[in-house]
Amino acid sequence: MQLQKKADMECVVQGIIETQHVEALEILLQGLCGVQRERLRIHEICLKNGPNLGLVASEVRLLCDLEQTEPSWTVRHIGGAMRGAGAEQISVLVRTMVESKVSKNVLRMFYTLGYKLDHELLRVGFSFQFNRGAQITVTVSSVNKMLKLHATDEAVPVTPGIQMVEVTAPASAENYTEVAAAVSSFCEYLAPLLHLSKPGVSTGVVPTAAAAAASLMSDGGGTTL
Amino acid sequence: MEGESVQQQQERLNQAVQQQLNLEQVKTRAISLFKAISRILEDFDAYARTNTTPKWQDILGQYSMVNLELFNIVDDIKKVSKPFLVYPKNVNADNATILPVMLSTKLLPEMETEDTSKRDQLLQGMQNLPIATQIDKLKARLDMIAGACEGAEKVLADTRKAYCFGTRQGPAIAPTLDKGQAAKIQEQENLLRAAVNVGEGLRLPGDQRHITASLPMHLADVFTVNEGPQSFPEGSSNNVYIKNTPLSSNSMGGQNSLLQNSGSQLLGRSAASPNVATNATFDNTAASPIPYANSPRSSTNMMNTPSPQQQTPQQQQQQPTVQQQQQQQRQKMMQLPQQQQQLLAQQQQFRQSAMQGLGQLHGQHQMQFSQQIGHQQFQGRQLTSGHVQHGIGQSQLNQGNQMARISQFSGAANNALFNAAQTTPNTQMIPNISAGISSQPLLPRMQFGLSGNNPQRNHASQMLSDQMFNMGGGNPGGMMSIQQQQQQQQSSQGAFGGLASNAQNLPSGMMTLQNTQQNHPNFSQQRQQNQQ
């Protein structure tokens, strides 16, 4: 039955890290996760429906994975976050999220339905996927914008000196507390380098980041954690 | 007890004092007191073990006796203790409050001698000088020592950094960000978070939203046929007009290709059709790339599609003829014509009206039209049945008018849609009728035209479309005509993605038309030809 458990929610936290420390973060994650990193190059197209298509404004994100030889498309819909006193106590954001693989006609289909392009961005970085209490994915990427429509080859970073770190884990309504706990405990391991928080809450950089990065780099990655 | 703590020196005490002390007696009394107390404690123990309630009266009495005895002993000792001094070996918390300050701070003799010798060492050579000088000299010495200590610490810290041992004190020594830097980082962070979560700063202004550069690989084939990002109509089922964007031309081009496909199919099927010429014109445009609206080619595309023979005479009389045609068609439909000619005539008319309508428009308008068609097609779709509803929005253009309307049959379920479509002031929309109606009872409706439709809508295309989607099965006779008409309709709609491929399915399609509900109108239309 576990295989069939539908995970229609996700726990997510975001953080930032200075570009100069990204390599150190990679070393740290490599040690923590125990898996190989996967390169990431994703063209994210955000579509919003027109005002007269339905009563509720809806937004859909199309992700095209450009790293593979054959670009693969995914559609993702992000819903509202959990609210309430219980949600405030959890240190991660829990929200509905539905994702599915689609064919390359998805963009055309949504246009035909009446959705319009709202914005697009290109993420370039790496990610780690592993299981530690929950299936966790850590993504470290620089977020790039395109000055010309769909010109992914000419994308420039939105913030050159800072990259975005996201930790997500799929969850369902039954197990989201455990997943949230797993994610937040994992985030504590990253505390020397960065602080992670719910999307929308800013954290700043961590003062120990430079020292932690220096120590991670100087050991040549040989430090086991 | 103090009395008992007095140490007996080795030398003999003064006899008088000794007598006064009467140590023997004190000892006896102390021992008896001790015994009394231990007895009481034992009693308490027994009480505790047996868990009986002790007799408090007795115990208090015993306690008072013991207390009195102790007091007496202490009193006697006190009287005699004047010649004695307490010489504590150890000053600790217990004793400190009792002993006078001087006594408590006085160093032990050994310590005292040590101290004296050190002082002498320090002040050697200075004892002759005045005190002030001595003080200065001592201060100088202190400063030197302090300097030496600092130097040593510095060296240690540097060495630590060099070898990355880590600081002893940790974060306190780590560099903190100065405020300016922190503010800059905060600003950048806000930018980044906003960009990722909301898309701030990533939206291109409207005029930049054209696909000017070559598309990247993964988008190249997505965009060949169609549009740019904003070009799709915002039309809902109300068929609001599409904004006139240059990108809309792309879609028209796409439809061209689709049209061409279907056209060629028609060519193949209806050999006797006078539409051959028309089809031929379709083929002319097959090779045209999909340019923008303003390119000469695209605008001529649509101009070319209606066959020259058919176009000229009928263009002028489009509206009235259309109505006539419609009526004719209706009658034909009612008779369940299976003759090819009728169907062909219908086709022809439909096509003409469709094409002419398109042809009269400028490129951009055309595109919008087709877009709207496509859009509306999808709007009314009843997904379960797989039938697509067609509604071709009237071109909102100022020319407003001769868009070929493909109407679908209004099923019970779709009356609402129809009514909704009615609300748009500008459009003379033929309601999108769900094609999911497949039940037989609808057949008569079909044949009588669109009972649910506005009379104005008696457009050639309307007839065609009426029955188009009743493929659901069970419309044997009517289906034939419908299908052919549908074919034509479809050609003008062009927005179906699968149209071209549908053409391939013609052979098999016809048979299934009447059986299942799975028939896409696309399929059905093209299958029509086969049956003929």
B211 contacts in chain A (CB < 8 Å): 149-150
CB contact under 8 A, B202 and A145: yes
CB contact under 8 A, A149 and B204: yes
Q: Where are the beta strands (DSSP E) in B79-221?
A: none
Dihedral, CA atoms, B222, B226, B230, B233, nearest 10 degrees?
-130
Among residues 147-166 of chain B, which lie with CB inside 8 Å of chain A? 164, 166
Query: Among A44, A112, A208, A218, which would you mutate to test the B interface (most chain B Cβ atoms within 10 Å of its Cβ)?
Result: A112
| Token pair belonging to B85 | 């001094």
CB contact under 8 A, B225 and A108: yes
Q: Using one digit for the tens of pLDDT, what is the confidence trace for B458-476?
A: 444 444 444 444 444 444 4
Helix H or strand E encompassing A75:
strand A72-81
Q: Is the pLDDT of residue B227 over 60?
A: no
Segment of A38-47, B152-161, B307-316 carrying the highest mean pLDDT: A38-47
Q: According to the model, what pLDDT value does residue A84 have?
A: 86
Pick the closest to residue B302 from B255, B265, B341, B270 (CA basis): B255
Which 8-state DSSP code applies to residue B129? S
Apex B474 CA angle, B469 and B479, nearest 5: 50
Mean pLDDT to the nearest integer, A19-25 = 92
B216 contacts in chain A (CB < 8 Å): 43, 66, 150-153
To the nearest whole number, what is the mean pLDDT of chain B?
58
Q: Which of B185, B211, B233 sits opposite A205 (nearest CB)?
A: B185
- Which value does ipTM take for this structure? 0.90
Q: According to the model, what pLDDT value does residue A34 have?
A: 87
Other Cβ atoms less than 10 A from the Cβ of A70: the count is: 8
pLDDT band at A162 (very low <50, low <70, confident <90, very high): very high
Q: Chain A residue with minimal CA distance to B217?
A: A71
CA-based torsion, B355, B356, B362, B364: positive or negative? negative
Q: Does the beta carbon of B191 lie under 8 angstroms from any beta carbon of chain A?
A: yes
Helix H or strand E encompassing B342:
helix B340-359
Distance in Å, alpha carbon of A115 to nearest chain B alpha carbon = 8
Q: According to the model, what pLDDT value does residue A216 have?
A: 85
To the nearest whole number, what is the mean pLDDT of chain A?
87
Q: Is the pLDDT of residue B430 over 70?
A: no
Q: What are phi and psi of B285, to 5 degrees?
A: -90, 0
Q: Is the pLDDT of residue B502 over 80?
A: no
A116 contacts in chain B (CB < 8 Å): 229-230, 232
Top-confidence residue, A6 or A70: A70
DSSP per residue, B69-88: HHHHHHHHHHHH-TT-----
pLDDT band at B21 (very low <50, low <70, confident <90, very high): low
Q: Does the beta carbon of B240 lie under 8 angstroms from any beta carbon of chain A?
A: yes
DSSP per residue, B481-507: HHHHHHHHHHHHH---TTHHHHHHTHH
Q: According to the model, what pLDDT value does residue B462 have?
A: 44
B213 contacts in chain A (CB < 8 Å): 148-151, 154
Q: According to the model, what pLDDT value does residue B399 have?
A: 42
A152 contacts in chain B (CB < 8 Å): 216
CATH topology of domain A9-220: Hypothetical Protein Pfu-838710-001 (2.40.320)
Q: Is the pLDDT of residue B301 over 80?
A: no
Top-confidence residue, B209 or B342: B209
Q: Is the pLDDT of residue B339 over 90?
A: no
CA-based torsion, B60, B65, B71, B73: positive or negative? negative
Q: Using one digit for the tens of pLDDT, what is the confidence trace for A106-145?
A: 988 998 888 888 999 999 999 999 998 899 999 999 999 9
Q: Is the pLDDT of residue A43 over 60?
A: yes
Q: How far apart are CA B442 and CA B474, in angstroms?
A: 9
Segment of B58-72, B303-317, B477-491, B512-526 carrying the highest mean pLDDT: B58-72
Q: According to the model, what pLDDT value does residue B203 have?
A: 84
End-to-end C-alpha distance for chain B, whole angstroms: 132
Q: Chain B residue with minimal CA distance to A64?
A: B218
Other Cβ atoms less than 10 A from the Cβ of B479: the count is: 28
B177 contacts in chain A (CB < 8 Å): 205, 207
Pick the closest to residue B466 from B400, B527, B519, B391 (CA basis): B391
Q: According to the model, what pLDDT value does residue B428 have?
A: 44
Segment of B8-12, B29-33, B142-146, B171-175 carrying the highest mean pLDDT: B142-146
CB contact under 8 A, B216 and A202: no
| Residue in this structure with the two tokens 């199919």, named with its chain if needed | B265
Q: How far apart are CA B84 and CA B294, in angstroms?
A: 124
A217 contacts in chain B (CB < 8 Å): none
A158-172, B318-332, B387-401: lowest mean pLDDT where?
A: B387-401
Domain ranges of chain B: 13-82, 125-165
Q: Using one digit for the tens of pLDDT, what is the confidence trace for B431-456?
A: 444 444 444 444 444 444 444 444 44
Q: Which of A108, A203, A208 sits opposite B222 (nearest CB)?
A: A108
| Residue in this structure with the two tokens 């008569």, named with its chain if needed | B444
B240 contacts in chain A (CB < 8 Å): 52
| Residue in this structure with the two tokens 């030496």, named with its chain if needed | B148
Among residues 348-407 of chain B, which lie with CB inside 8 Å of chain A? 374-375, 378
Q: Does the beta carbon of B436 lie under 8 angstroms from any beta carbon of chain A?
A: no
pLDDT band at A73 (very low <50, low <70, confident <90, very high): very high
Q: Phi-psi region for residue A28, left (φ > 0), alpha (ψ -120 to 50) or beta? A: alpha
Mean pLDDT to the nearest integer, B191-200 = 89
CB contact under 8 A, B193 and A50: no
pLDDT band at B328 (very low <50, low <70, confident <90, very high): low
Top-confidence residue, B143 or B490: B143
Q: How many CB contacts within 8 angstroms connect chain A with chain B?
A: 160
Q: Using one digit for the tens of pLDDT, what is the confidence trace for B409-428?
A: 444 444 444 444 444 444 44
Q: According to the model, what pLDDT value does residue B224 have?
A: 60
Q: How far apart are CA B349 and CA B321, in angstroms?
A: 9
Mean pLDDT to the nearest integer, B37-43 = 87
pLDDT band at A44 (very low <50, low <70, confident <90, very high): very high
Distance in Å, alpha carbon of A2 to nearest chain B alpha carbon = 31
Residues of chain B with pLDDT > 90: what percent?
4
Helix H or strand E encompassing A121:
strand A115-131
